[in-house]
Structure 1
């Protein structure tokens, strides 16, 4: 498509946007009395307007029913989490039974590693990407230490080639092949948090299984952002937070996927709690754990319904729109943002370097941009002028125009603010 760097053209794209009405279903912060341009849906999504009602319903049930709300609320609390499984299964490409929602992301990854990191003999190594999100690094280091191994030996990091910003699938596959039968687990972020690169999860998962390893994915930046087919890709397990692209609120509950081939197994290593035991016998208080016949077997405690309510509210919107429509707009609005950046780059004679892959299959909502010659002062200028974005050292801004609520006019307006910030610096 031929783009133009004009407000008129951006407004024309907004008129053609099938999702434009959904923008009004979200609450935007304001700076200087004006609604912000919001680029940080990859960190914390905006609040859907329907969220308040979902939370208020639980508060009212608590007030009116107290403990009886577990069974007699309109949405009973004791099985509240089950309502999230069906819409989530559509988002991540899973069977409904393969989905559960509990705890938070790193907690869930630790719990899943109890089942899927089983070092024995010479098979004890974990493959991950270099400079993974710090929480994943801490988790992996602590897990291998817990099992008595040295992280410097047990953790194998896939490297980028010198001078390149992104990983090559061929290099990942070579690393997997080289580690071979020493590999117990491959655990990678499905979308790299820093560059926005999307990994070839299907190919990597198969390569891991070919050498006899378990394969799991941290989908913090992938769920609600890219097309996922976890069941068909034969992924062993995955977990994701819900507060980024899925707009459930700060620090909110995490989704989990466990492939159905691991269900109904009493002998699988797993930390157990009473919400993972059979619903039919749960309140008989039997001493023997009888696992639920699905991913809920990994549940520990009763569901935190006040956290799940905003998640359910957001999933209602996802169910209404569908991932295909979100991805269609995502592709166009990110391409338009890329065009705007390149146009402004030419106008101000600066040097922007987009380090996110240019190939559509290797990127999603996020563009990470090196602002060569610019410092944090430009980021601060953007923030003061109503552009909420994200700064990463040494001089990268991450821009994530979430398709639910970002407009094409936002992309144009951002370009104008960015240009003015650079010109003001040059003229000062």
Structure 2
């Protein structure tokens, strides 16, 4: 049984764990919150819930922005934040084994003592958990070079819907025996099983990092700079784009003058022993395209990367402000942003855009102003029409409705536009195989 300190049903606890940071479409309070402190705790909760047909929503730090951790009706929210131990770190094998509640940055700090790093670095890396990163297959700024969470996960320990414990994957970097169940669980948003242990691959901590800030007249010329760097066959670790609206917002918050220097900002980091050579090539390429490029060893450029990581500021998405997460082929970045700007004008909504330009993943934010705290039905209709069109246009360009945030609850309405019914039917069959009672995070992801 679970000790009383691990269970809460008071109003404040239920409200605190009812939602993550996504807009809320269907608000429910859980019936209880349980804090697991061991694998056995998780198994106990799952078995109890299975025997009574009670839904379970597993949760890490609650930093998701697609509603993957929103409470379902009549559910128990199972918090894994107390399972926060680094169980093993092997410098020779360049691997680590962690519990799901380990904070991303804490794993990085531990790895750094051995000249290693955990590469995936979502903007929430200082507060988000590895388990949550696995659930959504989280990305981050370093995706351009090191890939997303799935590219760093070697093995998983997963509690299945009947309470049994399954180990998938391997301790080696290579391994192709059987179906890739590890890859299946990564990004499944807690709908197939509850991750209670993660074996990750670590990378070498770069001996050098060079950061470049490149100001461009507009987003179009900055996106052209991204393609020019690609044609130079240089592989940055980070390649981020911020549009003029984002620069103006940062100026207002920090008292900076970014928007006075250009209509768009391209931030690039190179790393490794060749970082200086690669940075010089990139500076020359961007300057040749007419950009205002920072000099070597620019402290400001380093600060700007930190600002980019927190470019959402204190904003939390709600029904009036929605941050999207689409991806398009890099060659279509210019076209897609032009289309976004046209949508904002057509539907009379506000827009700002940041992008992981290295892999074509954009985060446009649409919103309607609430100066008098009142928004009419017409305002909401225009906002939703802009969101719908942003999705359909991305798909028409060969893109996807989510690059790294997941489907959760909020994006289910668009999933059918990307995945045809035969594919969705197969995914529902997989869900039914792993979770025949349908108790694991129902109404999410698929």
TM-score range, shorter chain: under 0.3
More strand by share: 2
**Normalising to structure 2: TM-score of the pair?**
0.24
TM-score by length of structure 1 reads 0.25
